[in-house]
Amino acid sequence: MRKFVGNIVAKSRRTKKLTQDEFGKLYSVSGPAIFKFEKGYVRPSLELWLRMAADSNISERSAVLLWLKATLPPKYQDIVELQAPSTRSSGAKSKAPVRKAANYTKCKSRDDLLKKADTDVNFPVALKEFIQDDELWALYSPDGAEINRLLATFAPLGAASKELYREAIAALRMFTGER
């Protein structure tokens, strides 16, 4: 596993000119735990990582993406881009107007989600397939707020599959402690 999270922890610690024990005390963890984070043997919890990232002036979005990227098998890690969607270079610039993202929070059922998705031209096909899949729906049944999080966090990353959205919803629930 690439140790980009660990490299950031190490750089932050060295910038502050602290030992691993001293740096660990800032976050109520031991020096050996900091050593393990820096070497990439383990990752800090998301909550701890977000605190460390904020202290390193890393945006919450980038921190979550870095943390998630570190959970992926190496062959998939390069898929996760950390740039904001509007700053990615794709060769030709799109002149399409930027649309405000639809809000799925008020959708209370699977049918509500599908009806709203049908009217949203920006709704990812793979996410719609995820919602339509009876087995995945029975297992995950995401609510509107989770759909909003999936759209905000993962849809900008590009093409996906319903299986990747399954992994994404599991990861979001792990981050938020929901369900």
Q: What is the CATH number of the domain that holds 55?
A: 1.10.260.40
Residue 79 lies in a domain: no
Q: Please, which pLDDT band fits residue 96 given cuts at 50, 70 and 90?
A: very low
Residue with the larger pLDDT of the pair 90 and 112? 112
Average pLDDT, the chain: 80
Who has greater pLDDT, 68 or 22? 22
Q: Are residues 107 and 169 in the same domain?
A: yes
Looking at the structure of the chain, the number of domains it has is 2
- Mean pLDDT throughout 146-165? 80
User: What pLDDT is attached to residue 126?
Assistant: 86
pTM for this entry? 0.47
84 pLDDT exceeds 60? no
Residue 4 has pLDDT above 50, yes or no: yes
Examine residue 92 and state whether it is found in any structural domain, yes or no. no
Range of the domain at 16: 4-72
| pLDDT exceeds cutoff 60 at 114 | yes
**Do 58 and 115 belong to one domain?**
no
Tell me if 94 is assigned to some domain.
no
What are the contacts of 44-51 at 24+ separation with CB within 8 A? Answer: 44/5, 44/9, 46/174, 46/175, 49/5, 51/27
100 pLDDT tier (thresholds 50, 70, 90)? low
- Both 55 and 111 in a single domain? no
